[in-house]
Amino acid sequence: MFSVLSYGRLVARAVLGGLSQTDSRDYSLVTASCGFGKDFRKGILKKGMCYGDDACFVARHRTADVLGVADGVGGWRDYGVDPSQFSGTLMRTCERLVKEGRFVPSNPIGILTTSYSELLQNKVPLLGSSTACLIVLDRASHRLHTANLGDSGFLVVRGGEVVHRSDEQQHYFNTPFQLSIAPPEAEGAVLSDSPDAADSSSFDVQLGDIILTATDGLFDNMPDYMILQELKKLKNSNYESVQQTARSIAEQAHELAYDPNYMSPFAQFACDNGLNVRGGKPDDITVLLSIVAEYTD
């Protein structure tokens, strides 16, 4: 009987010990942005959160932190359409939905779907196409929920290693999945994917985890090992430190993009597809750098 009681006490202590270790604190994201359009001076935003044809947003609600990036498809410029209008409006609509509380943290695809639907219902058609990547941190559950359509994306880094990443979605080389609105006469001739086609994932995060969300202008020019090297410069969760590191990453990607002798990830991918390409890939670059921290009002 003594041994049974002793065992029971040990189990009770173990259970209580496990409960006491549960982190009841809310988490949040400390996020900084940096980027530039290939035709604009570094670090200069166009109207709203736009770098060239890229766009982004960072929003807070009482239950979650939400952020996103979008890359407007530049080919629309050949038809007299400003590609940044579509990506910028898509991200601003997502931001508004979050601030109004019209979202479920575990369903970032829902944010993208509602935002895209609003664009489709505009009285004046907003022509264009864009990739999109959304990240939602549920403060109480400490879970990150993601949705990625196309070749923008994210990395989650813990202890100097990539522990989670988005999957790139391409129809074929250099042709990513994208949301589109085409004029009636071009419907069916323009690539257009459903928000439901976005790759989604959900996983737990820890205090100190680093989340890098960016458009393809970053990932096409910087391989993981270079990004991880830059992230070593992030010493704490102060906004100033996060901002400085975001800028350092964006600036290095910019320099590499214009190096004709550099074998960039994009050039390597092109070679894998039978093309003789070398050098960086000049492009708009948007970087959102976040670190998971304890939530404070």
Q: Read off the pLDDT of residues 61-113 as tens digits, 9 standing for 90 and up.
A: 999 999 999 999 999 999 999 999 999 999 999 999 999 999 999 999 999 99
206 pLDDT band (50/70/90 cuts)? very high
Domain membership of residue 128 as a residue range? 25-294
Q: How far apart are CA 94 and CA 111, in angstroms?
A: 6
- Average pLDDT score over residue span 202-217: 98
pTM above 0.75, yes or no: yes
| Count: domains in the chain | 1
Q: Is the pLDDT of residue 114 over 90?
A: yes
pLDDT on residue 185: 82
Antiparallel, parallel or unpaired: β 210-214 and 161-165: unpaired
Looking at the DSSP bridge assignments, the partners of residue 212 are 155, 289
The crossing angle, in degrees rounded to 10, of helices 224-231 and 239-257 is 150
Return phi, psi of residue 295, to 5°.
-70, 135
Q: Is the pLDDT of residue 5 over 70?
A: no
Residue 14 lies inside a defined structural domain of this protein: no
Return phi, psi of residue 58, to 5°.
-135, 125
Contact 232, 160 (CB under 8 A): yes
Which residues 6+ apart lie within 8 Å of 175 measured at CB?
Answer: 191
21 pLDDT band (50/70/90 cuts)? low
Contact 289, 210 (CB under 8 A): yes
pLDDT on residue 15: 37
Residue 1 lies inside a defined structural domain of this protein: no
3 pLDDT band (50/70/90 cuts)? very low
Return phi, psi of residue 25, to 5°.
-75, 150
Q: How far apart are CA 154 and CA 141, in angstroms?
A: 20
Residue 155 lies inside a defined structural domain of this protein: yes
- Average pLDDT score over residue span 250-266: 96
Name the residue with higher pLDDT: 297 or 37: 37
Closest CA to 148 of 161, 136, 166: 166
Q: How far apart are CA 121 and CA 50, in angstroms?
A: 23
pLDDT on residue 22: 75
Residue 11 lies inside a defined structural domain of this protein: no
Q: What is the DSSP letter of 170?
A: E
Name the residue with higher pLDDT: 118 or 296: 118
Antiparallel, parallel or unpaired: β 64-72 and 285-294: unpaired
HEC-encoded secondary structure of 101-160: CCCCCCCHHHHHHHHHHHHHCCCCCCCEEEEEEEEEEECCCCEEEEEEECCCEEEEEECC
Question: Which position has the token pair 């071009």?
Answer: 186
Q: Is the pLDDT of residue 10 over 70?
A: no
Q: How far apart are CA 115 and CA 251, in angstroms?
A: 31
Residue 105 lies inside a defined structural domain of this protein: yes
Q: What is the DSSP letter of 167?
A: P
38 pLDDT band (50/70/90 cuts)? confident
Single-letter code of the amino acid located at 93: T
Residue 4 lies inside a defined structural domain of this protein: no
pLDDT on residue 48: 56
CATH code for the domain of 229: 3.60.40.10
Contact 111, 103 (CB under 8 A): yes
Q: How far apart are CA 255 and CA 174, in angstroms?
A: 21
Q: Is the pLDDT of residue 41 over 80?
A: no
Mean pLDDT, the chain, rounded, equals 90
Q: Is the pLDDT of residue 17 over 60?
A: no
Q: Is the pLDDT of residue 13 over 90?
A: no
Indicate the range of 122-136, 176-190, 209-223 predicted with least confidence.
176-190
Q: Is the pLDDT of residue 271 over 50?
A: yes
Residue 49 lies inside a defined structural domain of this protein: yes
